[in-house]
Amino acid sequence: MATMRLNKFISDCGVTSRRKAEELILQGRLSVNDKIVMELSQKIDTEKDIVLLDGEKLRPKRHVYFLLNKPKGVVTTTDDEKNRKTVIDLIKTKEKIFPVGRLDYDTTGVLILTNDGEFSNMLTHPKNNIPREYEVKLDKPLTDDDKEKLCTGVYIKGKKGKFIKAVFSNKKDKKHVIVTAVEGRNHFVKNMFGALSYTVIALNRKSFAGIVCNIPVGMHRVLTREEISGVIQNYGN
């Protein structure tokens, strides 16, 4: 028997969020096996119980999870007013998917796309401190002092930010740095280096939430159950 809270079931069907689902329940618009349910704690058997919203049967939508190695020159959005190619255009699926967070137009690397709103919220909520690892190419060598500053904290747009880790990918070439961050602010990596007068020439996200990009640029694959379970286990509430 697969049991779950009624509000989660409604959310999984793509009707609305869990919070909004609770409002629908309290309004008496849900029935389970032909009985109106108004208890927020109500649990159902998803394999046997019949749930109706305003008399219409609800069916859970199929969640899909894709890993894309995003190429340059592609917009991280579901559509673009300038008619530029989007990350959605790179994945053929019948499901209506969206990117989890975003990567800049000229940034490459790990990007997750899904139709699971809760999974996306878990990965983008600041409180969960989701690690993001980037390969950075700079316009000039990074000094050891500045590398330390980036890990202790610098101010960008009036708010302090820092990298959890910063290492040179090659000690003889200090223009190439690998950094780890848990912040998802727009242009965060570029702005961090910009605060110390460095320009990011190239940026590639190596991993996100521990998921590594092991496919060619521009290609995608389905995330494995083990990868999805690992993310939920590590960062879910």
Residues 123/100, Cβ–Cβ less than 8 Å: yes
Q: How far is CA 167 from CA 133, 181, 202, 232, in A?
A: 11, 12, 16, 28
104 is catalytic: yes
136: number of Cβ within 10 Å = 23
Q: Would strands 51-53 and 56-57 be described as parallel, antiparallel, or unpaired?
A: antiparallel
Rg of the chain over all Cα atoms, to the nearest angstrom: 22
Q: DSSP 3-state assignment of 67?
A: strand
The one-letter amino acid code at 49 reads D
197: number of Cβ within 10 Å = 9
The one-letter amino acid code at 6 reads L
Q: Which of 80, 104, 106, 146 is catalytic?
A: 104
Question: Hey, which residues are catalytic here?
Answer: 104
